[in-house]
Amino acid sequence: MTSSIDREFPAPAGVVSLTTDYGLADGFVAACHGVIARLAPQLRIIDVTHLVPPGDIRRGATVLAQTVPHLPPGVHVAVVDPGVGTNRRAIALATCAGMLVGPDNGLLLDAAEALGGVTGAVELTNPRWLAPRVSATFHGRDVFAPVAARLALGAPLAEAGPAVDPDSLVRLPAPLVRRLPDGFVAEVLTVDHFGNVQLAAPADLLEPLPARVRVRPETGGSGPTGVDGREREAVHGRTFGDAPVGALVAHADSADRVALSVNGGHAAALLAVVPGTLLRVRACGVVGALPDNTDEVSTVES
């Protein structure tokens, strides 16, 4: 009998994607590729990244959520798993546009929302779907890879293990975003390879601000407040080149979030911030019709 989970999930496209913090210096990624290839050599594997900072679940969740909408429908494996081998659950989620496989530590849920929301969830307990011997420290190879291969071949999700109440899934704390009369305060969500600083603030909070804004670290949040706490001026632009070389620019990034960049430089180093730092972005001078409140904003999913 077909379960509601299976009815709600479209036919797999023969694609498995991998997002991990395994790095490229060891054989961990190759082992996962190998397990999938031995079970289903016809599948296409897309490597999203294996350079998530070790154990940085927030960074992994952000990268995954901002990437999966642009991938073919398939099975998306994510492994940033400092709790591997503990009592944290191994799970698979069904969505309207793909499946997600990984640890139940908050890593998968933003991506699930980006794919239309969770329509079903199971805990991965069926021993026939796992490696004959499951290592306590390498579930990517022994649990998530073989499960993903079977799902991508069309095996029913319900056979992977018992159903899980989606409301019981672990969620990451929502990043702070607060609207202010002259701008907003927002948590640094992530820093990319180029040093661009992505804030949790949706891009529409930047729109009413004038051509120049001021940026400074605030106290609070989970990261440091910056080395010197200086307030810096930034161009409110559309792209990096709207600021002079070496200057700071505030703009909407490709994920429709507020971002801070340096034209030809490294914004995170300039501002001395890391994920979790709070930054205040405010207007230079008087702004006409900014909202006059200090409400926290319900942020869009990463």
Strand partners, 62: none
Query: What is the pLDDT, as a whole number, of residue 172?
Result: 96
> What are the start-end ranges of the E strands in the chain?
15-20, 44-49, 75-79, 90-95, 98-103, 118-123, 177-180, 183-191, 197-202, 212-221, 232-236, 248-252, 257-262, 277-283
pLDDT-derived band at 223 (thresholds 50, 70, 90) equals: low
- The SS3 assignment for 277 reads strand
Sorted by where each starts, the structural domains of the chain and their CATH numbers stand as 4-168 (3.40.50.10790), 177-283 (2.40.30.90)
Instruction: Give pLDDT tens digits for 67-100.
Output: 999 999 999 999 999 999 999 999 999 999 999 9
Is 152:16 a contact under the CB 8 Å cutoff? yes
CA distance 141 to 151: 15
pLDDT-derived band at 109 (thresholds 50, 70, 90) equals: very high
Q: Residue with structure tokens 């661009």?
A: 196
Query: What is the pLDDT, as a whole number, of residue 294?
Result: 44
CA distance 200 to 281: 12
Strand partners, 177: 186
- What is the average per-residue pLDDT within 282-293? 57
Is 300:202 a contact under the CB 8 Å cutoff? yes
Calculate the CA 261 to chain-centre distance: 20
- What is the average per-residue pLDDT within 110-131? 97
For the whole prediction, is pTM greater than 0.95?
no
Sheet containing 90-95: which strands, arranged edge to edge?
Answer: 44-49, 15-20, 75-79, 98-103, 90-95, 118-123
What angle in degrees, to the nearest 10, is found between the helix axes of 28-39 and 145-152? 30
Q: Does residue 7 register a pLDDT over 50?
A: no
Q: Does residue 290 register a pLDDT over 70?
A: no
Structure tokens at 184: 């907003």
CA distance 63 to 150: 24
Query: What is the pLDDT, as a whole number, of residue 123?
Result: 98
Q: Does residue 9 register a pLDDT over 70?
A: no
Instruction: Give pLDDT tens digits for 28-43.
Output: 999 999 999 999 999 9
CA distance 207 to 211: 10
Is 232:213 a contact under the CB 8 Å cutoff? no
Q: Which amino acid is it at 20? A: T
Instruction: Give pLDDT tens digits for 119-129.
Output: 999 999 999 99
User: For a pLDDT cut of 70, what percent of the chain falls above it?
Assistant: 86
CA distance 243 to 117: 38
Query: What is the pLDDT, as a whole number, of residue 229?
Result: 64
Query: What is the pLDDT, as a whole number, of residue 45?
Result: 97
